[in-house]
Structure 1
Amino acid sequence: MYGLLLAVGVSCQTQQIVTDSPKDVAKKPGQMKSDIKPYNEVITSEAKSDQGLFTSHFVGDKLYFEVPLELLEKDMLLVSRIAGVPAGFGGGYVNAGSKVNEQVVRWSKRGDHIDMKVISFENESEEGSPIYQSVQANNFFPILFSAKISAYNDNKTSAVIEVSDLFTEEVAAINGVSPELRKQYKVKKLDKSRSYIQSAHAYPKNVEVKHVMTYEAEEPPAREQAGTISMLMNQSMILLPEDKMQPRLADHRVGWFTTRKYDYNSQALKADDYEIINRWRLVPKDMEAYKRGELVEPVKPIVWYLDPATPEKWRPYFKQGIEDWNVAFEAAGFKNAVIAKDPPTKEEDPEFSPEDVRYSVVRYVASTTRNAMGPSVTDPRTGEIIESDIIWYHNHLRSYRNRFMIEAGAQNPAARSLETPEEEIGEMMRMVIAHEVGHALGLPHNMKASSAYPTDSLRDPGFTQKYGLTPSIMDYARVNYVAQPGDEGVRYIRMMGPYDLYAINWGYRYIPGKSAQEEKQILSNWILEKAGDPVYEFGSGYRGIDPQSQRESLGDDQIKASEYGLANLKKVVPNLVKWTSKDNQDYDDLEEVYRELGGMWRGYISHVISNVGGIYETRKTADQEGTVYTHVPREKQEAAIAFLNEHAFTTPHWLLNEELLGRIQASGSIENIQGLQGRSLDNLLDKERLERMFTNEQINGKEAYSPVEMMDDLRKGIFSELYKGTKADAYRRNIQRSYVDTAAEYIQNLEKEEPGEVTSTDIIALMRGELEQLRRDLRAGSSRSNDKLTVYHWKDLLARIDAALDVDA
């Protein structure tokens, strides 16, 4: 049933293709004269033409498409990407190459017009079933663009239309400025006088158009942009295959990028929603040999070309990163499934272009952006990945250079320089490319993978050289910060692991003779065979509740791993001046590395905080025993608070290295530490975290670590000077103020909250009771310190608490 549904989708199959020629629509009495002209009057000798899927013609500043009538009603994918952005656009998080929309379109003929309609395959039913007409009626396809036919070609097989307005008017569906950014930058309107089509190129299976969009904006990203936002957009129109690939039904226990569907013919008492995975079409070249268990080449391998701009020095590492995936595909029964190629010369392939959808390319972008991406273009009807352009931004080298120094400098001499040796930086680049290729193959991040390995195993050279830092290259576990000085021979850089082989086998193994629905039980059995083994578990890490599923976390014990990481940072800081300084240069690199080190400190702290009110998630289906969600044991949560009191909220004197700070800032160390500690405290006292703790207490009683106990332990740690009668330094005074202000803010926002928010939980009572307890303690102990400023500080806190509780002091 699923196989039929997925192949059909919601489509206008009852709509006939009209292929009238001009003489077929000859003027009848009372009709207006047709505007259709002879071909050579529209596409003149001045035209600059490019033949392909739709032949494109530039006549002056007008762009025409020559639409073959045989391609009317064919499914095409329209992909809108940002090709060039102004500095600071989207806060620096929107980069060239970012995809803003992906939609299926069909070109249709309507009298003397050609319409481009947006087609959805999300809602579907079997053609001929009673509900089919209703599904069609309630999913009427919008017209994105319409143009009058200007001419027909000589043999009447193509219609010529002008499409300039599609790319120079403001069309929301292909726009690069989101409604949120329009509001942020106070965009007034598109300025057509400064918007134009830059280029149009046609290829056998796609058409590419680049166009500049210029907007008037009151508050553009940067002041020097003078009330203007100009951006370069790239629109790709890709012909989708008529021979549809059989989809594979997704299972949330194995991580895949997916496409959602709604089946209105389901026997369930609802529109049955399900997902299909996004993957390339791999079919064994020798089916009988494949069935015998032999490794077989695919009919069409997955090929990535290197960008001609890729420096020769880095090409071997890029190619290795791509072809590393062949090990995983061998687990699925394929050999030579993934191939990396150098860019062809003009003599080898004069038609080669990275814009051609027939070629997937690893693009090397000269940009200050510190990132890499692995996007792909997917057929939403079946989940088939059509093409992928992986993007490597040149400045991403800087990210890995800095991280390697910060997290491995204490243990590894090779990391003690900004001139990272080629062997190490090349290996990092190789694994970044492998990670992005994983995305392009259909795999999302698996942040849970790293928790499968015992933390101390990452100090073992034999273990790390064989198994890496995590079972999956799709985890964020970039440098081994657990290893300590003296742990000779350990691996420092991530690599592919057993989960990757398992996931590729699950998604790509060819199962002949089975429909998508019939495959489902086979695929589920493969998962059940691995059930209970953490190496094969998946967790995206984006819900933020599972401490075992976090970005950059290493090992199964986040507290121990963070202790190891902090121990290394403390050894690195005194050496940063020496490791980053060069004669006749300033201290910009030192400042950058020190700032990023602070961010990693906060990351280690965050890994521990996630245990407080944390919930372990083990993805299961109803045929498996046990629960999906389990609260973190109270002893682990208590240990996390003890760690935070010792490492997060005490004064980090080791970060306040005078030799270092004296070179990069005149002042501001107090504010910097306040920012790091304050954000960590806000994270710890997050509303949703406290609510999970209340729920745990309600369910598990005394076995739970209650919010009252947590706040009591936290208060005793943060206000230890009050209870000991000792001096509180400036850094401690800041975190103590933050504690009081955070609790007070919950109470002061009481009347501002919408019904069902904080006011309907026990958080208000908790914070009020906590402040009342602290007020009693302050009154009893505020005069015990022999430091006058500390006494003033205690009195200031009393005033803040009284104001929060609305008490007449």
Structure 2
Amino acid sequence: MKYWRELVAVCGLLLYSCLFVFFGVNCAVASQLEIQEIEFKPVVENIAIADTKFIEIKEDLRRYQKLIKDSRKLEGLFNLYQYQDEERGGVFMEIKPEQLNQSYIATATLESGIGESGIYSGLPLQDFLFYFQPVKNRLQFVVKNVKFRTDNNAPEMLSIKRSFSDSVLYSLEIIGVEPHNKSILVNLDELLMQDFPGLTLLLKDSLHADYQLDANKSYLSNINSFPLNVEIDSNYGFSAQEGATFLETLPDSRAISLAVHYSFSQLPEQKLKNNNYIPRLADDRVGYFITAFQDFSSQNKDDIFVRYINRWNLQPVNPELVISPPKKQIIFWIENAVPLEYRDGIREGILMWNQAFAKAGFENAIAVRQMPDNADWHPADVRYNTIRWFNSLDAGFARALTRVNPLTGEILDADIIIDAGMVRSVESEYRALIRGNSIALKEDSLDNPNYSCQENTKQRFLKTNFKTYLKTNNSLNNDSCYGADLSFQAAMGALSLSLLEDGKPSNHDTHKYIHEYLCYLVAHEVGHALGLRHNFHGSTMLTPQELNNPEITHTKGLVGSIMDYLPVNIAPQGIQQGDYFPTIIGPYDEWAITYGYKYGYKQNSPHHSINPTEEKNFLEEIAIASPEPELSYATDEDIRDINPLANVWDMSSDVLLYSQWQLDNARLMWERLDKSYPLQGDSYGNLRVLFNRIFRYYDRNAFLLVKYIGGQSFTRNHTSENTQYSFVPVSQLEQETALSKLVDYVFAEDAFNFSPQLLNQLAPSRWQHWGNYIPISRLDYPIHERIFEMQSQILRSLFAGERLSRLLDIELKTTLDNALTIPQLFNTLQSGIWSEVFIAKKEKPQSISSIRRAIQREYLDILLEMVLRKVEVPEDGRTIAWYELRQLKKAIYSTLRKSKNLDLYTLAHLEESNSRIIKALNAELQSD
């Protein structure tokens, strides 16, 4: 028995030791080998839990592997798993734990459009910073708010997070979690097969119809994942069974198919540990697009906003050299869809900017390559900057699209889209003008001589909520206006070659002209792609006499900046024609690129990397040159009626002389059109289109004179530059000259003289079919209506309340003997428009023509509206109107007393005018 007890004790001790080793059970062993009481229940539970967890992990792994089984795995920034089997759900995306709550850039581009009504291939749809955020059992797709910032460790960070939220766009179901590395699997269809890019709203705004996304017609295609980016194509089908808009480019407007290209990419600072990009502070004297945010990190700042210019990360290989190659060139690829005959012009337009980068210290900063036909990449891929070609029924514009890091302003990608119609229409019309063409040139709203694309955009602005206008209209409408107006200018240049030059141009002349036009068009858009805004003061560098001197235009430039909206440069009679469009960039362009891209190193330490604030002195040394006339700058918000030299479609430093030259050119073109057209076998419809285009050209140049009245120059100079004041009124002499020319070229009796032969040949096109509907209400030409619309618009602009207020203000801003006054404006216009009745005081009365009667009635309407307080004008303007009406009444009365030789039209016109004045003055007195 004794030995038996000892054997049991030894066995128990061994069992205890095993349990202690495997399960970590803490026990105290008695000194005399007595086994203490052990609770075995927890040990058994631990074994069960461990086993359960192992089973769960194994099961999770099996489930995860089953989800991705038989898929095509694409490894990259985000691993993608693609299935051909629809039951499995299309495409899965894997997000690793370290990728959660990290910022990435999302871009969406419309890859296939419908070719009309604002739905065009290549347009940008979305561009924002996002991150993935796990919440409970779902994964949120969140757009990051980058408008408000502070230091990450600053106390203000908590306040910013509470005050300004991010935007959670979607919440995705987590369909699997890899148990070992904790990677999350989501269905990409759940994200992108919803209306992720906002196409439904785009279609509603553009087509004014309710198109709904049809899931059965939508799918993902062409997915790729690279180390730094993911590229995906989505195809969306939309249907509108009721209320579908009739679309000329579609076989059936009830169904629309659109393709969208997505890029999800890393931020540059995530790509490289040492990106070395230094955000550059903006300066209002130099025109760059900017990235702005409010910085709460310091309470001692004068301005809470921080503004960085948008620019590329261009760094020299050797910053110690005066000019160095860049570490990485800006490469533009010409898409393989661009016609062969236009590729050289596009290449030259792009490379034109290397001239500016050389001044900034970079050799061959920009390169151009041709996209091969067998390229394995997509033009919308964020890794490639492309020149893209698209076709449309009505777009007619070119546009630069840039993708910018919203944290730093660094430009990451750029594409330029060009509607084929901008070039082909000019080329085809050129051939029609030279050779004759029995098919009429296209006539649309832009051929209406009184149509103003800029004015039309302004009217949309006045009728639309400001923020809505900026969001939905500003960029596209401005691009459309620019494209349509530039095409018009190019067409006018072609017309001038056939009407103003001696002899017909050759095919070589045609090619040279189209090439020059295309180079300027592309160079302008590349300027935007480099970060530059418009400079509508850029056209004023040369005098009118210098515009056609190649020795000047080929060395200094035709204009100070090609970022202006430039008209075709048509030489006046007696001067040899020079360049029609700029062939090199201007001094402002070089200076602006220097500000944006010159390497900002310290002289005593060329390799010292500096922050934006430390660059301020370096940048000020560049910007301080802004008062130089060649560097003058005015952009979109500066071109209202105030500054006659900050304008679109003008040229030279003396617009008074330039506009007169072009008005004379237009009159000569009308004369030669009367004598030389239509060509043998040509359509009379062509003659009508050309007549209208000359009319529109005349109208545009006449309007350039209007801005001189009450005009003031405006500069963005700073006080440290010790230059002229911000505002300098236009001199009285210039205003009087502009007013005199308006009377002579717009309101005078002989301003418009057209032969009956010409007017009776202005037949419209009779092609009536899709894409070529007849846009006119009258079959015969409404000559009175056309002339009156032009005269009325100019006259009402001259008498606008804002202009009269400025004239009144200028009297306080300058000496009275150097200011055009409201009485002078009224008196000059009244004497010119009603010259027949004022001449009648001294001479025999003359009958008044129908054109003159129409503008006289309009003049009378305007003054009566002022006197009867139907429009808002300064009180001094109203009283001068009252005074001028009394003078006009006296002159009419005097003319009526000598009315024996007047025709009935004139007699009735004068008597009715006199009666209206009397009634209005009496009504005004009774009201008082």
Distance 1:440 1:711, change over 3 A: same
- 277, 299, 315: which one pairs with 1:283? 315
2:725 counterpart letter in structure 1: T
Q: Is the 8 A contact 2:402 2:412 kept in 1?
A: yes
- TM superposition shift of 1:429: 0.9
Distance 1:264 1:652, change over 3 A: same
Distance 1:64 1:452, change over 3 A: same
Distance 1:427 1:748, change over 3 A: same
Q: Find the residue that maps to 2:906 and give its secondary structure.
A: helix
Q: Is the 8 A contact 1:77 1:238 kept in 2?
A: yes
- TM superposition shift of 1:597: 2.4
- TM superposition shift of 1:453: 1.7
- Name the stretch that deviates more: 222-231 or 627-636: 222-231
- 662, 686, 709: which one pairs with 2:761? 662
- 826, 843, 852: which one pairs with 1:732? 852
Q: Is the 8 A contact 1:87 1:222 kept in 2?
A: no
- 695, 706, 716: which one pairs with 1:598? 695
For residues 525-564 of structure 1, the aligned pairs below 5 Å read: 525-528=621-624, 530-542=625-637, 543-544=639-640, 545-564=642-661
1:321 aligned onto 2:349: yes
- Name the stretch that deviates more: 460-469 or 220-229: 220-229
- 544, 556, 570: which one pairs with 1:455? 544
Specify the alignment match of 1:680 in structure 2. Answer: 794
For residues 162-181 of structure 1, the aligned pairs below 5 Å read: 162-164=187-189, 166-167=191-192, 169=194, 174-175=198-199, 177=201
Specify the alignment match of 1:430 in structure 2. Answer: 519
1:474 counterpart letter in structure 2: M
> 1:423-478 deviations in whole A, cap 9, x for unaligned?
22112212211111111111111110222222222143432333332121212224
For residues 149-188 of structure 1, the aligned pairs below 5 Å read: 149-152=174-177, 158-164=183-189, 166-167=191-192, 169=194, 174-175=198-199, 177=201, 182=204, 187-188=209-210
Distance 1:412 1:38, change over 3 A: farther
> 1:100-138 deviations in whole A, cap 9, x for unaligned?
543222222223212111112222112222322212221
Distance in structure 1 (CA, Å) of the matches to 2:257 and 2:792: 37
Larger Rg over CA atoms: 2
For residues 230-629 of structure 1, the aligned pairs below 5 Å read: 230=256, 232=258, 234=260, 236-239=262-265, 240-243=267-270, 245-268=277-300, 272-286=304-318, 290-293=319-322, 295-346=323-374, 350-368=375-393, 369-397=395-423, 398=426, 399=487, 401-407=490-496, 409=498, 411-412=500-501, 421-481=510-570, 483-488=571-576, 490-495=578-583, 496-512=585-601, 513=608, 514-528=610-624, 530-542=625-637, 543-544=639-640, 545-576=642-673, 586-625=683-722, 626-629=724-727
Q: Find the residue that maps to 2:139 and give its secondary structure.
A: strand
Distance in structure 1 (CA, Å) of the matches to 2:677 and 2:915: 46
Specify the alignment match of 1:207 in structure 2. Answer: 231
> 1:147-167 deviations in whole A, cap 9, x for unaligned?
111234697564332344555
2:355 counterpart letter in structure 1: V
Distance in structure 2 (CA, Å) of the matches to 1:140 and 1:170: 22
- TM superposition shift of 1:184: 8.4
2:904 counterpart letter in structure 1: K
- Name the stretch that deviates more: 629-638 or 729-738: 729-738
Distance 1:88 1:804, change over 3 A: farther
Q: Is the 8 A contact 2:200 2:211 kept in 1?
A: no
Distance 1:269 1:494, change over 3 A: closer
Q: Is the 8 A contact 2:140 2:168 kept in 1?
A: yes
Q: Is the 8 A contact 1:371 1:393 kept in 2?
A: yes
Distance 1:729 1:365, change over 3 A: same
- TM superposition shift of 1:378: 1.1
Distance 1:676 1:489, change over 3 A: closer
Distance in structure 2 (CA, Å) of the matches to 1:588 and 1:418: 25
Q: Is the 8 A contact 2:221 2:233 kept in 1?
A: yes
Distance 1:713 1:744, change over 3 A: same
Specify the alignment match of 1:66 in structure 2. Answer: 93
1:250 counterpart letter in structure 2: A
Identity %: 24
Distance 1:560 1:745, change over 3 A: same
1:237 counterpart letter in structure 2: S
Gaps of 5+ in 1: 1-22, 28-33
- 803, 807, 817: which one pairs with 1:689? 803
1:711 aligned onto 2:826: yes
Specify the alignment match of 2:737 in structure 1. Answer: 639
Specify the alignment match of 1:17 in structure 2. Answer: none
- TM superposition shift of 1:641: 0.8
Distance 1:435 1:185, change over 3 A: closer
- 206, 218, 222: which one pairs with 1:196? 218
- TM superposition shift of 1:270: 6.7
2:293 counterpart letter in structure 1: K
1:795 aligned onto 2:824: no
TM-score by length of 1: 0.84
Q: Is the 8 A contact 2:336 2:373 kept in 1?
A: no
Distance in structure 2 (CA, Å) of the matches to 1:68 and 1:723: 85
Distance in structure 1 (CA, Å) of the matches to 2:677 and 2:110: 36
1:252 counterpart letter in structure 2: D
- TM superposition shift of 1:743: 4.0
Distance in structure 2 (CA, Å) of the matches to 1:676 and 1:189: 40
- TM superposition shift of 1:75: 2.2
Specify the alignment match of 1:30 in structure 2. Answer: none
- TM superposition shift of 1:532: 3.3
Distance in structure 2 (CA, Å) of the matches to 1:168 and 1:801: 68
Distance in structure 2 (CA, Å) of the matches to 1:184 and 1:446: 29
Q: Find the residue that maps to 1:553 and give its secondary structure.
A: coil
Q: Is the 8 A contact 2:94 2:184 kept in 1?
A: yes
Distance 1:52 1:40, change over 3 A: same
Q: Is the 8 A contact 1:80 1:234 kept in 2?
A: yes
Specify the alignment match of 2:895 in structure 1. Answer: 781
Distance 1:191 1:332, change over 3 A: closer
Distance 1:107 1:599, change over 3 A: farther
- TM superposition shift of 1:48: 7.7
Distance 1:332 1:461, change over 3 A: closer
1:312 counterpart letter in structure 2: L
Q: Is the 8 A contact 1:168 1:195 kept in 2?
A: no
Distance in structure 1 (CA, Å) of the matches to 2:729 and 2:911: 39
Q: Find the residue that maps to 1:593 and give its secondary structure.
A: helix
Q: Is the 8 A contact 1:197 1:211 kept in 2?
A: yes
1:107 aligned onto 2:132: yes
Distance 1:609 1:317, change over 3 A: same
Q: Is the 8 A contact 1:375 1:390 kept in 2?
A: yes
Q: Is the 8 A contact 2:666 2:697 kept in 1?
A: no
TM-score by length of 2: 0.74
Distance in structure 2 (CA, Å) of the matches to 1:278 and 1:77: 16
Distance in structure 1 (CA, Å) of the matches to 2:916 and 2:507: 47
Q: Find the residue that maps to 1:38 and give its secondary structure.
A: helix
- TM superposition shift of 1:646: 0.6
Gaps of 5+ in 2: 1-48, 54-58, 427-486, 602-607, 765-779, 840-844
- TM superposition shift of 1:611: 0.9
Distance in structure 2 (CA, Å) of the matches to 1:152 and 1:272: 44
Distance in structure 2 (CA, Å) of the matches to 1:793 and 1:257: 55
Matched pairs, number: 758
